[in-house]
Amino acid sequence: MKKVYPDAKAALDGLVFDGMTLMAGGFGLCGIPENAIAALHAAGVKDLTVISNNCGVDGFGLGILLDAKQIRKMVSSYVGENKEFERQFLSGELELEFNPQGTLAERIRAGGAGIPGFFTKTGVGTMIAEGKEHREFDGETYIMETGLTADVSIVKAWKADPEGNLVFRKTARNFNPMMATAGKVTIAEVEEIVELGALDPDHIHTPGIFVQRLFKGEFEKRIEQRTIRERESA
């Protein structure tokens, strides 16, 4: 099966539809699949349920889908970087399923591993626990969380080979490897596609069996927050 596509538009062709569930890798703006997000914006797909740690920033990353009212629901763990997110949520335009960050990561990992649910102490006694099954283990109370999957996962990696084996770079790894396992179809955008056999098997983070499509992208790699001070005069 040919996995390499010329660009994000081609890689998404035939896979997107209104009302779909999408996983998008990244943490803040680090390791986000910015090319696939831009292609989704151009495609005009709407009523999306998006599973992602956060929702980009105003005007970039997933924020462009939010600005265009293409997202119906977010499943996230951090939403503090986006004023439009706040506005839509408080006005009732946007649904939010809020998760502790570790719980979100484990829900994605569980979904990719075919685990429908698991128990955790995180969130017991808080709003997070409302409406969820509680169970006692060794005298401690736990709540049940469900695994997460998606119609399509879009992830960003550093290198890939033509079979879809992926290597991530430093903190840009974040949620990407877990999401690559939890999509019915996974699309990877990468900085470099190398020849088959060029990747050391011990350095591969995501085996190609989890990746159905990939392409080489062009990346802006914005800095999320930049704080500077004026240089002191000599």
Give me 149's structure tokens.
Answer: 């999957």
Say how far apart CA 86 and CA 82 lie, in whole Å: 7
What strands lie across the sheet with 117-120, from one edge to the other? 117-120, 140-146, 134-137
Rg from Cα positions in the chain: 19
What pLDDT, on the 0 to 100 scale, is given for residue 233?
76
225, pLDDT greater than 80: no
**Residue 16: what pLDDT?**
97
How does the average pLDDT of the chain come out, rounded? 95
Domain segments of the chain as ranges: 8-216
The string of pLDDT tens digits covering residues 120-131 is 999 999 999 999
Check: CB of residue 128 under 8 Å from CB of residue 101: no
Q: Measuring CA to CA, how many Å separate 197 from each of 60, 149, 177? A: 35, 30, 20
Average the pLDDT over 48-72 and give the result.
Answer: 95
Q: Which strand (E) or helix (H) includes residue 112?
A: helix 101-112
pTM: 0.94
Mean pLDDT value across residues 182-204: 98
User: Does the pLDDT of residue 234 top 70, yes or no?
Assistant: no
Degrees, nearest 5: CA angle 140-144-148: 145
What tokens were used for 99?
Answer: 């998760």
What local confidence, expressed as pLDDT, does residue 117 receive? 98
pLDDT score of 228 more than 70: yes
pLDDT band at 69 (very low <50, low <70, confident <90, very high): very high
Give the per-residue pLDDT at 157.
Answer: 98
Rounded CA separation 53/64 (Å): 16
Q: For the domain covering 8-216, report its CATH number.
A: 3.40.1080.10
Mind listing the pLDDT tens digit for each residue in 84-120?
A: 999 999 999 999 999 999 999 999 999 999 999 999 9
